[in-house]
Amino acid sequence: MKEYIFLGLLLSVLIIIFIAYEVPSKDDFSPENPLFNGLSQASMLAGMVQENVGSLSSAPPNSTLFIIGPDKSFSNIDANEVKSFLKAGGTVILMDDFGTGNSLLEALDLNVRFDGRLLMDPLFMYRNPALPIVKFSMNGSALNVYFNYATVLDGNLGNRCIGYSSAFSFLDSNENGVKDQDEPFGPFCVAASFDYSLGRLIVISDSSVFINSMLDKGMNEKLLSMLSGNGKAILLVGYWNQSEYTFIRNSLMSSLYALLNTWLLYPFVIVLTILGATFGKIAYISLAKRGKGKAPQDNIQEILKRHPDWDEEALIRLREEMRQ
């Protein structure tokens, strides 16, 4: 019985690994997600490396760190890591809309915040006013960038502002999709650049500019390449709420990666061989026994137990005939 449990478990694990390998994450901003809300294309184009906040200290000084749509607030320790990264000359791109990017801005002591109200533009938009087109001014060139359910930046930004919405845009405070009297008209600042010690922080009030479905719109891809620069591009992970599937998939994949690409592979292979040999032998013996079947007399007795009205002699004759 035990061997069947083991074989079942082994098969299940193999199926789970296969599914995890083949079926990507569907989480927002996941670099493995090839669907409309993932970052698979952007991370490939910019050559983004996924890193946790703890490993920022070893990044080269000309690196660019992308913090896209964080779901969790930044602790003081993590904010200090980002601060050190900036002080060392790195560039941080903070993209958020209704999330928790303000916690980092607060920790960095900057006079800018994500407003949180929905930015809409009935004229300069793509299909729907919630997908407004904004203008960026980067390194002397003007870019038309497509946003997707964005907000705006608050604060006295002055010439730090590098991206504006159109004069027709408005903040849909009550989210009814139309411009009401008390809702302000644009242009609003949607991106700002701050020099921070030797580094630079760029704040963009939409987290979805680089998702797969938006990258080919307008000049979003060009903006990505301009922001990525020539140094190492890092995508900060660990600040998104993971679905259960993504959590399991990531755990499995990272375990597999660790097994296959490190020295741990060797003991693992040995253990797997021993287990396979042991349980394989047990399974083989068990199957061999089953193939032989029970004594013919026992079979007839069992049949008679189930059907007491049947003739035993007739059954024996029948068995003899079948054998012949």
Partner 1 sequence: MKLYGIMLLLFIVFLPLTAESTTIPRHEDPSTIRESWNIMSYFSSLSYVSKYVSAGNYSSANESLTDIVNSYIPQSYRGVIDRTNSLMNQILNQLNQTEVLLEQTEAYINQTNFTAAREDLDHAKIQLNMANITFLSILDALSTLPVGAGGASGYLSGLEERIAHLDSKLSALEDLLRNEPYIGTKIMIDAEPSSVEWGGSIAISGMLSTEFGQPIPNRAIEIHVGNKVLETFTEENGSYRIESNVTAYMPQISIYSEFIPRGEDLFVYRYSRSDVVNITVHYISAIISVDLDKKIYLPGETAHLFLHSNLSFPLPFSVISTIGNFTGILNGNADVALRIPDDVGEGSYSLTLLTPPYGKIAPFRWEGNITIVKLPSNIIIDIPKKVIAGKTYVINATISPPSYIVVYSNIGQAVAEGSYIKFHVPLLYFGKSLSFELVATPFNSSYRGVAFSSEIEVINPLPIISAVLLSGGSLLYFLRYRLGKIRIDIKREKIGIPLEGKEGPKGSIINEVFALISKLYGVNMEPWMTYREYMRLLLNKIEDDLATFISDILTKLEKAVYGKKDHASLLKLAEERASILYGKLKSKLKGE
Residues at the interface with partner 1 (CB under 8 A): 28, 36-37, 55, 57-58, 60, 69, 97-99, 118, 122-131, 133, 144, 146, 148-149, 166, 168, 175, 177, 207-208, 211, 213-214, 217, 258, 261-267, 269-271, 274, 288-289, 292, 295, 297
CB of 311 to partner 1, least distance (A): 20
Q: Which is nearer to partner 1, 177 or 238 (CB)?
A: 177
Cβ nearer to partner 1, comparing 191 with 211: 211
Closer CB to partner 1, 125 or 201, in the complex: 125
CB nearer to partner 1: pick between 103 and 166: 166
State both tokens at 202. 């760029």
Smallest gap from Cβ 18 to partner 1, in A, equals 25
Contacts 24+ apart (CB under 8 A), 281-285: 282/2, 282/3, 283/3, 283/7
Neighbours of 223 (CB within 10 A): 23
What is d(CA 171, CA 119) in angstroms, rounded to the nearest whole number? 5
**Is 159 in a helix, a strand, or coil?**
helix
Tokens of 164: 């504006």
Question: Which one-letter DSSP state was computed for residue 122?
Answer: S
User: Pairing relation of β-strands 189-196 and 161-164?
Assistant: antiparallel
CB of 98 to partner 1, least distance (A): 6
Task: Give the nearer residue to partner 1 in terms of CB position, either 256 or 264.
Answer: 264
Closer residue to partner 1, CB minimum distance, 118 or 160: 118
In the complex, the smallest distance separating the C-beta of residue 109 from partner 1, rounded to whole angstroms, is 27
Smallest separation, CB 121 to partner 1 (Å): 9
Q: Considering beta carbons, is residue 90 or 99 the nearer one to partner 1? A: 99
CB 182 within 8 A of CB 156: no
Positive or negative, the CA dihedral 50, 36, 26, 69 is: positive
Q: Decide the pairing of beta strands 125-126 and 113-114.
A: unpaired
Write down the least CB distance from residue 111 to partner 1, Å.
25
Closer CB to partner 1, residue 91 or residue 193?
91
Q: How far is the CB of 156 from partner 1 (least distance, A)?
A: 26
Residues making up the chain, counted from first to last? 324
- Decide: helix, strand or coil at residue 256: helix
Query: Apex CA 198: angle with CA 193 and CA 202, to 5°?
Result: 20
Cβ of residue 94: shortest distance to partner 1, in angstroms?
Answer: 15
User: Do 61 and 92 touch, CB atoms closer than 8 A?
Assistant: no
CA-closest candidate to residue 237, choices 43, 35, 24: 43
Counting Cβ atoms within 10 Å, is residue 90 exposed (0-12), middle (13-18) or buried (19+)? buried
